[in-house]
Amino acid sequence: MTTRSPALLVLEDGRTFRGESYGARGETFGEAVFATGMTGYQETLTDPSYHKQVVVQTAPHIGNTGVNDDDPESGRIWVSGYVVRDPARRASSWRSRRGLEEELEAQGVVGICEVDTRALTRHLRERGAMRVGVSTTETDPQALLRRVLDSPPMHGADLAGDVSTSAAYVVPAQGQRRFRVAALDLGIKTMTPRRMAERGIEVHVLPASSTIDDVLAVEPDGLFYSNGPGDPETADGPVRVLQQALERRLPYFGICFGNQVFGRALGFGTYKLDYGHRGINQPVQDRVTGKVEVTAHNHGFAVDAPLDRPTGTPYGRAEVSHVCLNDDVVEGLTLTGDDGSLRGFSVQYHPEAAAGPHDAAYLFDRFVALLKQAQRGDRDGS
Amino acid sequence: MPRRTDISSVLVIGSGPIVIGQACEFDYSGTQACRVLKAEGLRVILVNSNPATIMTDPEMADATYVEPITPEFVEQVIEYERPDALLATLGGQTALNAAVALHRSGALERYGVELIGASIEAIERGENRDSFKRIVDEIGGQTARSAICHSMQECLEAVEKLGYPVVVRPSYTMGGAGSGMAFDEDDLHRIAGTGLALSPSTEVLLEESILGWKEYELEVMRDHADNVVIVCSIENVDPMGVHTGDSVTVAPAMTLTDREYQVMRDQAIAVIRAVGVDTGGCNIQFAVDPATGRMIIIEMNPRVSRSSALASKATGFPIAKIAAKVALGYTLDEIPNDITGETPASFEPTLDYVVVKVPRFAFEKFPAAETSLTTHMKSVGEAMAIGRNFTEALQKALRSAEKPEAPFEFAAEPGEMGELLRAIARPYDGRLRDTVDALRAGADVEQVSKATGIDPWFVDQLALLCEVADDVRAIDHVTPELLRHAKRHGFSDAQLAALRGTRADVIRGVREALGVRPVFKTVDTCAAEFAARTPYHYSSYDEETEVSARERPAVIILGSGPNRIGQGIEFDYSCVHAAMALGDAGYETVMVNCNPETVSTDYDTSDRLYFEPLTLEDVLEVVHAEQQAGPVAGVIVQLGGQTPLKLARELEQAGVPIVGTTPGAINLAEERGAFGRVLHAAGLPAPKHGTASSYTEAREIAADIGYPVLVRPSYVLGGRGMEIVYDDASLSEYISRATDASPEHPVLVDRFLDDAVEIDVDALYDGHELYLGGVMEHIEEAGVHSGDSACALPPTTLGPEELLRIRESTEAIARGVGVRGLLNVQYALAGDVLYVLEANPRASRTVPFVSKATAVPLAKAASRLMLGSTIAELRGEGMLPASGDAVDLPADAPVAVKEAVMPFNRFRMPDGRTVDTLLGPEMRSTGEVMGIDELFGTAFAKSQVAAFGALPVRGTVFVSLANRDKRHMIFPVKRLADLGFDILATAGTAEVLRRNGVTADVVRKRWVGSEPDGTPTIIGRILAGDVDLIINTPSGTTVSGNPRADGYEIRTAAIQANVPCVTTVQGLAAAVQGIEAQLAGSVGVRCLQSWARRSVIRAERQATP
């Protein structure tokens, strides 16, 4: 078993927690956020949306099922730091290949354990997400605090480029190919193209910096924007590309960051939530059917759109389709044409789950229906 | 969608008496349901035969029928009340079975009653093994390979394909009754034979063994708009093979990845949809092969269950309350989450702590019973604990179980590794402790995991505890860091003291000096994502405490801990009433308890709830935290039974203010010598008695007072270890077997009063005035534990002069002891002398029964008296009658009969036969029912129906009596013959009857084997269903559970064949009255509120003389 050394956690408002080292030794900075899922730490760690964030796990036992090679949501761990209470001393799962601590060390992720994670979470809930430093080398909280205050804030951070693929790649459709979709990788998770591929979609994953020409070059039936880290205010490139696609009536589906970019493309603003939604138990209501889905969330920003009325846009009629029942945050948008037909939609949460419940998986079917309708429209039109 | 407007009255069915597999969790769920329905403005009609429940409090429903839960009685209630709807999913299997029966008989249709919650179709789809298996197939899930069998022949054929071992599960029984694992054909005959008999549909399921697989449960909630949420996941530490009620369980699941958890979640949701539980909660159980991950759905309960109560307490999501709301038509998003106040109930709770539940067994009450744990539930209660990690929660739960041998023992020699590894391969009560010992003896995690089937993650956590213990033992001087480290893993002061060779109070002193104290966190459903409004706390050794400051003075009520035989729901009832009454009186009420099944641990019951073990250490920390938060008026130890009572003196020594009867006064009543002086001063006789600290002393006392004598250890509840002995030899045997008599643990020796009438009294005393709450006359003679004896209120054979004597005696005792609050006294009336058997200055088991029977809330009044109110003031407020008490009951007061319910069918000896059913001085009943009516006979008949099923009104009675009883039974047996019963008797009994003009067929007094001419023996005839009533009084002198005692086979056969069996002469007289009442056809129903109107009139009558 690893011998631990003392570790220090300092928030930008000066609140300090002492614990023990977990994973790699060293020092790390980021935005402190808490995630409330009781399962799925492996997916959380590898979710690119957590780039530049220090994740506090509210579930006390972390690492119980070890690490396997099937569950990561990307090629590496993205969190910039990891805060847990009771790390597992040994893993137990028939799928486990190695221990989580081993993996954190191997990937150089600095963590801290034996922390009162509930106290830390309550602090973040009351004061909002903020910058944090975690160190196994520094013992003086004041010194660490100075470096925390020097670290870059999340507000205004443009991070999509950091996490996006550098070269385009294709995820082939499972079975017969029915559609081709261009998917802009703003921090895409492995499960997302897989969910599309299962439905006969050939997914062309493109770098975040792609232009409308790059998109059109794959001759897509539709356009998809993924989740991803950072402030949507900075995503001017992707917003412009999306607007160009909407002008061309390319069917659109967006998830998470893709919802925020959709909002901006339609003319809405975005804003930073105090402490965000990060968990796999969030109740979201479909405002048309009234049905409630239990959904996976990971977002610190949200779209500022009116709940009580539709909004006219150059691309059609925009409406808030889903809201979070906990706090009425906008969780989904739809864009319809004059005839009421769907042109594009997006959700702030994660229908691909991983980790999380599968309640919202139907949204991929809705995307397929949208693609089919557009295909038929094209045929009818030509 | 808002609630339905087409329903204005709802009938709720409770779960009846507490039995193994169906305990007070259904009082918790039923109480929540009643509260919801009333708050919605509906007329609530309730049927439940269990008087010890909060749900049968008259204010919980508009019409409360304490009547038997049988289709016949419930139909009478329906006929009279004409409810619009029936809610049967919150009263366990009993309520569900009653609803199904009412549907089948056409009663629901006849009276236009709609079943809400789950439809008949859904109940049948969920509970019928065959259709459930089909549903699982349809949704793409897997079930164990199995076969449904309706006869032994079918069982034998099926097992050829499935192979041994094979699991046997009867359909439609609760708590897995009748199920078991058959390893060979003999087992199969025995288990499947009983199972077929127990199943109302004569149906058993045989299935492949999944012994050793990981076991999980999900609690699911659905509304009529098809919104579904998973409230909680639960993982069993004990793998498949042990009933989940007998397993150590953990929430949330600890060893599943998100992928596996989500597949489980998907399947659970698909199952609830396919089964068609439209609204409400259900529970789905899964097994996972640890080697491959193959997942099997074991079963579902289309109703609220024991696990739902556990899940509610574990998460703060009140399943029964929400189930009641969705049954009325609300959708989950329309129901607020009480705890946050702002977010809706349409979410899934997330935990930032770990919950561990441990079972509480009662094998000590059935020394002959086999102790292996199987798929047949045997535990009588459970304790739950919450910690910030598994080790903390587990160790807290084990000390909550309140058995000295439950917490891990790290200081003693562990024993031999090989032997321990062999032992722990079999599941039994205490296996976890031996598992730790195996690790301490040198076994590694893999060896232990392989031997037990317990997941290596859990075993490693146990290994972690051993390592911490080693560190504590090895260090020269305990550092604050190490102390804190050990505390974070749940070590108690007592455990640390044992490791350091010192006393627990020394460790406490060190801890307090170093500032190593727990903080209190909050159960908030959301892992702190939102602020919690409900102060539902648990302790943990962490950084930040969440107890908020308050202004109003607090009263801390100590609960009764896990249910056990002798201390159950009755004590929780009193604690809940104290919380209600003191809350109304302006106090901030603080409940401390660790029993997840109870109403007291509902966060709605008190202003603050601490889910904590009831040990000195844990209680002192709660008191400390509350003293930091604001003024504390005092701690109540009188209401929760022996558990808080035994802490009283140490709490007082630690400076904690105890309200009500002082610890010194409590001791005065408990300590024989001191109590003897109280009685002497008051001129009250007690049976001759003495206190012995050795066998020699005991023998001298017995010689002085004369055999038979009653012997027992001091300071016990429920007659633990109490026996009647008839000679020196059995006295010697008792002392060496049942006690370790010493000056610290003396043995009490009392003269045993043969043929005495036993009387139980509950009273209130404020220092000046006595309120006699109720006088109960036992039906069984002295010698049967009061908890196991049926009793009647008002007493059926006592005159006014005797009642006055009882009142005067009780007052003298109350004054002499110094009672402030409740007092229970047991008397024996023998030869016109009223002997005082014992006095307990605390809430008794009978408080709820007396309160229901007389419509006076004794526990509420007691809690007020403890805080300084007087009886006169409470009379003025209307909490007590304006004048008079139980001595002045009017002539037309109803008669209430309490009957005990026994768990004998749950316990088997190693050879597979059931344990003896004879009643004795050691309490063994798990619960009680009440029958209430105009006359004793009718009330008694109802109590029998509620407890055991109806008394027969025709057929054959088998009579076999001890010689000393023959004289007394001539008249009642003659009466049975006159009523048309055929009498079957053993030769001696038949001869006595013949001389008295009663013809009886003679059966040879030979219980086993077959008659030489091939005619069946009496055992055979009982098992064949030829006998409808058995009267068997024991002629042997030992009642210590010796299975060879005379008549054992008869009583066992009675249990197996489910035939009423009367074992006392007095019981027979009562049974005859009951049978006469049933034959007269006059057994109707009437609600408590209607009976209480007589009491009101009574009070007025007395107020204006």
From A36, A64, A355, residue closest to B254, measured CB to CB = A64
- Which domains does chain A possess? 6-150 (3.50.30.20), 160-381 (3.40.50.880)
The pLDDT tens digits of the residues spanning A264-297 come to: 999 999 999 999 999 999 999 999 999 999 999 9
Give me the mean pLDDT over the B811-820 stretch.
Answer: 96
Residue B498 confidence (pLDDT) above 90: yes
Choose, out of B231, B288, B339, B350, the residue to mutate when testing the contact with A (most A CBs < 10 Å).
B350
Interface residue A226 vs chain B (CB under 8 A): no
Confidence of residue B476 (pLDDT cuts 50, 70, 90): very high
The rounded Cα B229 to chain-centroid distance in angstroms is 30
Catalytic residue among A73, A114, A319, A352: A352
Q: What is the DSSP letter of B658?
A: B
Residue A380 confidence (pLDDT) above 70: no
pLDDT given for residue B740 in this prediction: 64
Answer whether A118 sits within 8 Å of B388, measured CB to CB.
Answer: yes
Q: Which residue has the tokens 């709660």?
A: B622
Give me the mean pLDDT over the B668-676 stretch.
Answer: 85
Give me the mean pLDDT over the B656-677 stretch.
Answer: 90
Q: Which residue has the tokens 């749950």?
A: B906
pLDDT given for residue B988 in this prediction: 84
| Closest residue of chain A to B455, computed from CA coordinates | A92
Choose, out of B228, B352, B547, the residue to mutate when testing the contact with A (most A CBs < 10 Å).
B352
Interface residue A101 vs chain B (CB under 8 A): no
Q: Mark which residues 336-355 of A lie under 8 Å from B by CB.
A: 353-355
Residue B76 confidence (pLDDT) above 70: yes
Instruction: Report the complex ipTM.
Output: 0.97
The minimum CA-CA distance between A70 and chain B, rounded to whole Å, is 10
- Please tell me which residue, B582 or B173, carries the higher pLDDT value: B582
Choose, out of B347, B386, B390, the residue to mutate when testing the contact with A (most A CBs < 10 Å).
B347
| Closest residue of chain B to A282, computed from CA coordinates | B347
Confidence of residue B623 (pLDDT cuts 50, 70, 90): very high
pLDDT given for residue B1098 in this prediction: 53
pLDDT given for residue B1013 in this prediction: 64
Interface residue A111 vs chain B (CB under 8 A): no
Answer whether B347 sits within 8 Å of A294, measured CB to CB.
Answer: yes
Catalytic residue among A31, A51, A202, A256: A256
From A89, A283, A353, residue closest to B344, measured CB to CB = A283
Q: Report which of B78, B135, B137 is spatially closest to residue B277, judged by C-alpha positions.
A: B135
Residue B139 confidence (pLDDT) above 90: yes
The answer to whether A301 is a known ligand-binding residue is yes
The pLDDT tens digits of the residues spanning B399-411 come to: 999 998 999 999 9
Q: Report helix, strand or coil for B774.
A: strand
Token digits of residue A266:
């339609």
Beta bridge partner(s), residue B1030: B958, B1061
The minimum CA-CA distance between A317 and chain B, rounded to whole Å, is 28
- Please tell me which residue, B818 or B915, carries the higher pLDDT value: B818
Answer whether A93 sits within 8 Å of B349, measured CB to CB.
Answer: no
Count residue pairs from A and B with Cβ separation < 8 A.
Answer: 164
**C-alpha torsion sign, points B619, B621, B624, B625:** negative
Residue B1105 confidence (pLDDT) above 60: no
Interface residue A365 vs chain B (CB under 8 A): no
pLDDT given for residue B717 in this prediction: 55
pLDDT given for residue B37 in this prediction: 96
| Closest residue of chain A to B524, computed from CA coordinates | A118
Interatomic CA distance for residues B544 and B1058, integer angstroms: 57
pLDDT given for residue A103 in this prediction: 97
**C-alpha torsion sign, points B183, B186, B189, B195:** negative
Q: Report which of B719, B252, B762, B304 is spatially closest to residue B527, judged by C-alpha positions.
A: B252
Confidence of residue B1043 (pLDDT cuts 50, 70, 90): very low
Q: Is residue A324 annotated as a catalytic residue, yes or no?
A: no
Phi then psi for residue B462, to 5 deg, are -65, -40
pLDDT given for residue B1035 in this prediction: 62
Can you give the pTM of this predicted structure? 0.94
From B252, B258, B521, residue closest to A40, measured CB to CB = B258
Q: What percent of chain B has pLDDT over 90?
A: 69
Answer whether A119 sits within 8 Å of B390, measured CB to CB.
Answer: no
Contacting residues of B for A61, CB less than 8 Å apart: 254, 354, 389-390
The minimum CA-CA distance between B1027 and chain A, rounded to whole Å, is 56
Residue B666 confidence (pLDDT) above 80: yes
The minimum CA-CA distance between B528 and chain A, rounded to whole Å, is 6
Residue A58 confidence (pLDDT) above 70: yes
Q: Is residue A352 annotated as a catalytic residue, yes or no?
A: yes
The pLDDT tens digits of the residues spanning B221-242 come to: 999 999 999 999 999 999 998 9
Contacting residues of B for A280, CB less than 8 Å apart: 258, 348, 350
Ranges B63-72, B119-128, B171-180: which has the least confidence = B171-180
The minimum CA-CA distance between A1 and chain B, rounded to whole Å, is 12
The pLDDT tens digits of the residues spanning B275-317 come to: 999 888 899 999 999 999 999 999 998 889 999 999 999 999 9
The pLDDT tens digits of the residues spanning B324-342 come to: 999 999 999 999 999 999 8
From B259, B343, B389, residue closest to A326, measured CB to CB = B343
Q: What percent of chain A has pLDDT over 90?
A: 95
Ranked by mean pLDDT, the top range of A335-339, B582-586, B783-787 is B582-586
pLDDT given for residue B1101 in this prediction: 46
Q: What angle do CA A331, A336, A338 make, to 5 degrees?
A: 155
Instruction: Please check whether residue B213 is in contact with residue B196, taking contact to mean a CB–CB distance below 8 angstroms.
Output: no
Mean predicted lDDT score pLDDT of chain A? 96
The pLDDT tens digits of the residues spanning B507-551 come to: 999 999 999 999 999 999 999 999 999 999 999 999 999 999 999
pLDDT given for residue B256 in this prediction: 97
Give me the mean pLDDT over the B49-71 stretch.
Answer: 96
Q: Report which of B632, B636, B629, B574 is spatially closest to residue B600, judged by C-alpha positions.
A: B574
Interatomic CA distance for residues B611 and B603, integer angstroms: 10
Contacting residues of A for B543, CB less than 8 Å apart: 17, 116, 119
Residue B573 confidence (pLDDT) above 70: yes
Token digits of residue B136:
């699982």
Which residues of B are part of a known binding site? 129, 169, 175-176, 208, 210, 215, 241-243, 285, 299, 301, 712, 751, 753, 758, 783-786, 826, 838, 840
Contacting residues of B for A91, CB less than 8 Å apart: 457
Angle, to 10 degrees, between the axis of helix B445-452 and the axis of helix B431-440?
150
pLDDT given for residue B1 in this prediction: 59
Mean predicted lDDT score pLDDT of chain B? 91
Ranked by mean pLDDT, the top range of A252-256, B798-802, B891-895 is A252-256
The answer to whether A161 is a known ligand-binding residue is no
The minimum CA-CA distance between A246 and chain B, rounded to whole Å, is 34
Q: Is residue A350 annotated as a catalytic residue, yes or no?
A: yes
pLDDT given for residue B9 in this prediction: 97
Confidence of residue B712 (pLDDT cuts 50, 70, 90): confident
The answer to whether A179 is a known ligand-binding residue is no
pLDDT given for residue B820 in this prediction: 97
Give me the mean pLDDT over the A148-176 stretch.
Answer: 95
From A58, A93, A121, residue closest to B257, measured CB to CB = A93
Q: What is the DSSP letter of B516?
A: -
Confidence of residue B1044 (pLDDT cuts 50, 70, 90): very low
From A93, A118, A357, residue closest to B255, measured CB to CB = A93
Phi then psi for residue B903, to 5 deg, are -100, 25
Give me the mean pLDDT over the B935-961 stretch.
Answer: 91
Q: Which residue has the tokens 């076991």?
A: B215
Give me the mean pLDDT over the B820-827 stretch.
Answer: 96
- Which domains does chain B possess? 9-118 (3.40.50.20), 145-209 (3.30.1490.20), 357-516 (1.10.1030.10), 520-659 (3.40.50.20), 755-947 (3.30.470.20)
Give me the mean pLDDT over the B1004-1030 stretch.
Answer: 73
Interface residue A307 vs chain B (CB under 8 A): no
pLDDT given for residue B175 in this prediction: 59
Residue type, B590: V
User: CB neighbours of B795 closer than 8 A, spacing ≥ 6?
Assistant: B759, B775, B776, B777, B803
The pLDDT tens digits of the residues spanning B737-791 come to: 766 666 677 888 888 887 788 999 999 999 999 999 999 999 887 778 888 889 9
Choose, out of A65, A288, A331, A362, the residue to mutate when testing the contact with B (most B CBs < 10 Å).
A65
Answer whether B530 sits within 8 Å of A125, measured CB to CB.
Answer: yes
pLDDT given for residue B1084 in this prediction: 92
pLDDT given for residue B966 in this prediction: 83
User: CB neighbours of B237 closer than 8 A, spacing ≥ 6?
Assistant: B247, B248, B249, B250, B432, B454, B455, B458
- Please tell me which residue, A303 or B947, carries the higher pLDDT value: A303
Q: Mark which residues 24-83 of A lie under 8 Å from B by CB.
A: 34, 36-40, 42-43, 58-61, 64-65, 68, 70-71
